Amino acid sequence: EVKAIRETVPGSTINDIILAVCAGALRRYLEHHEELPNESLVAWVPINARRGSAEADEDIGNRVTSMTTPIFTDIEDPLERLQRIHASTRRSKAARSGVSARLMTDLSQHVPAATQVLAGRLVLRAGMTSRVCNLFISNVPGPQLPLYMNGARQVGAFGLAPLVNGMGLFIATPSYNGQMSFNVTSTREIMPDIDFFVDCLEETLNALKAAIKPARKARARKKIRAGSS
């Protein structure tokens, strides 16, 4: 279903679709509670920044960076929202380069733990997280073949993230063996009705699927005309 949606907006990615679904769900949720802001919410999104398989040997390992991007919760039309998200993430990705996840690990091992804790507290006390983003959305692609351990088959993949001060909502969407799951982490104070938000996710996906049908039919007619000519 996600791949079918992606084909409607040329150049869009799975990550763009996930952001569009999460944004639409948040719009529905906030409208229900009469708390939808006029401006768009902003998401903090980790991204894969590898250039390809031909990178230098010293760069082996995941190449990870992050970006903040508006998710256009102020736009009602689901297809227009997806198009705007795609344009925004394309600009953000082009402006950033990744840092090897392995290098990040090595650096952290050489930074005293006390210094890391102090820096983290300073960032949180300064409210920097809440100033630059409203939520975290992480799309982590996993293996698309079934995995086994001692003969037992893995049935799914799920994401969980701890919340810290200034971070009230984390949505993880890991994929595994042809399926994707939406995993929502929040608090009772911020989102007391997570079940309703999950319903909003489902409704938004259905709305996006319905919105792309006319676009897919138009593209099909265009191909037929091009073939006949």
Mean pLDDT, rounded, for 87-114: 58
Give the rounded percent of residues in the chain with a pLDDT score beyond 70: 68
Q: How far apart are CA 105 and CA 124, in angstroms?
A: 21
**Residue 60 DSSP one-character state:** -
Q: Own/partner pairs for 161-168, CB < 8 Å, 24+ apart?
A: 161/136, 161/185, 163/187, 164/124, 164/129, 165/124, 165/129, 166/124, 166/127, 166/128, 166/129, 166/130, 167/129, 167/135, 167/136, 168/135
Q: How far apart are CA 129 and CA 122, in angstroms?
A: 11
The pLDDT of residue 9 is 79
Angle at 159 between CA 157 and CA 160, to 5 degrees: 145
Selection from 87, 62, 57, 84 nearest residue 73 by Cα: 84
Angle at 24 between CA 143 and CA 123, to 5 degrees: 75
- Give the rounded distance of the alpha carbon of 215 from its chain centre: 24
Q: How far apart are CA 162 and CA 170, in angstroms?
A: 9
Mean pLDDT, rounded, for 183-198: 93
Q: How far apart are CA 52 and CA 29, in angstroms?
A: 39
* pLDDT higher than threshold 60 for residue 53: no
Global confidence as pTM = 0.77
Coil, helix or strand at residue 32: helix
Q: Give CA separation, 187 vs 139, 169, 190, in Å.
A: 21, 8, 5
**pLDDT bracket for residue 192 (50, 70, 90):** very high
* pLDDT higher than threshold 80 for residue 51: no
Mean pLDDT, rounded, for 108-136: 60
More confident position, 122 or 48: 48
